[in-house]
Amino acid sequence: MSELVIDLEAEKKEILKRYRALLRACKPTMQKGDKALIRQAFDLALESHKDMRRKSGEPYIYHPIAVAQIAAEEIGLGTTSIVCALLHDVVEDTAVTLEEIEREFGKKVARIIDGLTKISGVFDYNSSLQAENFRKMLLTLADDVRVILIKLADRLHNMRTMDHMPRDKQLKISSETIYLYAPLAHRLGLYAMKSELEDLSMKYTEAETYKFIARKLNEKKAERELFIQSFIGPIRDILLEQGLKSNVYGRPKSIHSIWNKMRKKGIPFEEVYDLFAIRIILESKPDQEKADCWKAYSIVTDLYRPNPDRLRDWVSSPKANGYESLHTTVMGPKGQWVEVQIRTTRMNEIAEKGFAAHWKYKESSSDSGLDQWIQKVRELLKNPESNALDFLDDFKMNLFSDEIFIFTPKGALMQLPLGATALDFAFEIHSDLGAKCIGAKVNHKLVPLSHQLQNGDQVEIITSSKQSPKEDWLNFVVTAKAKAKIKSSLKEEKRRVAEEGKEILERKLKSLKITYNTENIHKISNYFKFPSALELFYAIATESFDLKLLKEFQASEKTPEHKTPDRIDASQIEGLINKVKSKDSDTLLIGEDLQKIDYKLSTCCNPIPGDDVFGFITVNDGIKIHRTNCPNATKLLANYGYRVVKAKWTSQKELAFLTGLRIRGIDEVGLINKITTVISNDFKVNMRSITVDSNEGIFEGTIMVFVNDTMHLENLTKKLKQVKGVTSVTRFESQPERHGRI
């Protein structure tokens, strides 16, 4: 018993120690009376959570203190946000009510906590549609952006302390993080947080690759640091000589960004040259910032030869999330490219702390691009038409895209995502202008609607009162606003036309003596495979459906299949699992109690025994098995977490699974023969197909082979790499599956 008391004493000391560290982090933004307010929030949180513990066994209060610490230290938020961070779980998890919070801390704190409580559904793994919850979360963003910033701090701490979670939860939370939260941190300008969220997600979804890259980075650390010191020495000296106060250092690239480069370019770790970036932070007066940055650029490029294609100037035209910096890539002394980033202390704070740092410097930045972006989010959310998943995809697309700057005929500047077209520009100015747009003049030359705009173009929109949005417009617009407006306009038009079809069908059914009611319309739609009654009415109105076919429906005695539900509840999942149970499939064990259940291997990632996999419950195909690093996995896990089941390979019989290998090398006589010999003779592996392409002495081929498991595949890959002339052998992903109804 005494031991427990000592434990509690030690915990008490630790809680106080963490609380004091939080106060130190809050110091820069503290004003009179703030300390007492933070203490009051801390006392309430401590009391409310006193009997609660985290999965790791630690006192629950560690979590709110840590979230508040991240909000203060890493985002730079003020006292109101710190109070809300300390209390963010109180209303949801304890007996404290929102009214009590309002009484003690005022309306503003209560409103933010209400927002945080409302969106806790995003973390509810039994909830049916994560996308809908995310949409709710964005509604609160439109109200107070601090809700999102505290939620990001909450998510970051959860990701940092996820080791004690069960594996399936780790996968779901990581997928949701990489799918939504990292892009959101990016869009709010929190680059350090975005990188850490990506790295932590990868630690769980791609554990082996993560460990491999971390190990490789560690091995070369001393060598890298030596190179950085020799590279930055001369820069430091000249900056000092020229009277520029600066801090110059090397910063390693994140594991996730290195892995991205390896995947995109299909290269091994050894060939990724920019494992770090050199950062030059200048101490400049506000009116000298731009000139100082260019002066530093000139010093760097005098010392080292720059790559002319790699200059990025976000000092003259900052990114929409407020990011300002000069990026260039130069040739280092040992013949390797090095990325150099040049910015001032103010720019650096905005790059690290994003949105929150903007308010600090508000007086010096006229109209923040972030304000405009939040305005766009509000507009998007006002559109009641869009389905939650469509909305999410459109929204995500706009989170990551880089910007281009376009001028209106009168010289006003507008920001659009990279790849935007003349039609996007028209919708950006006004929805009605977009809907009536028939073409544009770019730099005084006539261009079609689909013309892709370039940075610095001047655009004038040409309209016609007879024009209305067309279906194919969706193929060449990239902004969420344009997509949403076109979809909503097309739906409106479809509804108008469908009304005529509805009347025609009503008359026809009367003559066939079939009662016109919802049930029969539903049956007819299903029988003729229309996704909805609206589509049926529309097809009748546009005469693409022959009404004579209704007699066939009348004669049919078939019971129609019911429309696939968008949501599946727990009992249906149970039913689906029971329906597909089978005694013969002993390769995989599925579900919490790991039973033998029938399944299908998904074609989008061709899993083989040994791969890290999960089961996904589909409505029409039973359980499908996906690899955790499948192109579709993140989306399925983030949006349909509740339909994911555990799956684990058993030691299985001699079964063969199809997988693909991509082989590159120097074309030599008899190379194909050597490769096929290794595959069929040495390994007794069957090949399904081989395609080879040789271009100017470079050989590239893809081979589909049947293997037993990952070990078998690794040995085969190793053996193929030993063939003279072969430079790389990689397993490849197939294209993402088109799910239709998931």
Enzyme catalytic residues: 92-93
Nearest residue to 439 via CA among 464, 403, 411? 464
Q: Is 546 exposed, middle or buried (0-12, 13-18, 19+ CB in 10 A)?
A: exposed
DSSP state of 421: B
Is 463 in contact with 442 (CB distance < 8 Å)?
no
The secondary structure of the chain in percent helix, strand, coil, rounded to multiples of 5, reads 55, 15, 30
E strand residue ranges, 523-612: 588-590, 595-596, 600-601
Indicate the helix (H) or strand (E) that contains 300. Answer: helix 289-303
**Short-list 461, 416, 417, 454, CA closest to 435:** 461
Q: Directed axis angle between helix 146-160 and helix 167-176, to 10°? A: 150
Contact 663, 726 (CB under 8 A): yes
Q: Return d(Cα 361, Cα 355) in angstroms, integer.
A: 10
Residue 269 to residues 212, 217, 257, 356, 725, Cα–Cα distance (Å)? 9, 9, 12, 36, 20
The kind and range of the H/E element at 662 are strand 657-666
Count the Cβ atoms, other than its own, within 10 Å of residue 417: 18
Contacts 24+ apart (CB under 8 A), 5-8: none
CA–CA gap between residue 185 and residue 323 (Å, rounded) = 13
Q: Which residues contact 575 (CB under 8 A, 6 or more apart)?
A: none
List the beta bridge partners of residue 337.
331
CA 481 to chain centre: 19
Regarding beta strands 644-649 and 588-590, do their DSSP bridges make them parallel or antiparallel, or are they unpaired?
antiparallel
Comparing C-alpha atoms, which of 632, 583, 584, 582 is closest to residue 607?
A: 632
Distance CA 694, CA 335 (A): 30
Cα four-point dihedral sign 372, 420, 188, 295: negative
Distance CA 376, CA 382 (A): 10
Q: How many residues does the chain have?
A: 742
HSE-up of residue 285 (Cα within 13 Å, Cβ side): 3
- Under DSSP, the state recorded for 561 is P
Neighbours of 129 (CB within 10 A): 18
The answer for residues whose C-beta is within 8 angstroms of residue 500's C-beta and 6 or more apart is: 537, 541
DSSP β-ladder status, 459-463 and 437-442 = antiparallel
- Per residue, the 3-state secondary structure of 314-376, as one string, reads CCCCCCCCCCCCEEEEEECCCCCEEEEEEEEHHHHHHHHHCHHHHHHCHHHCCCCHHHHHHHH
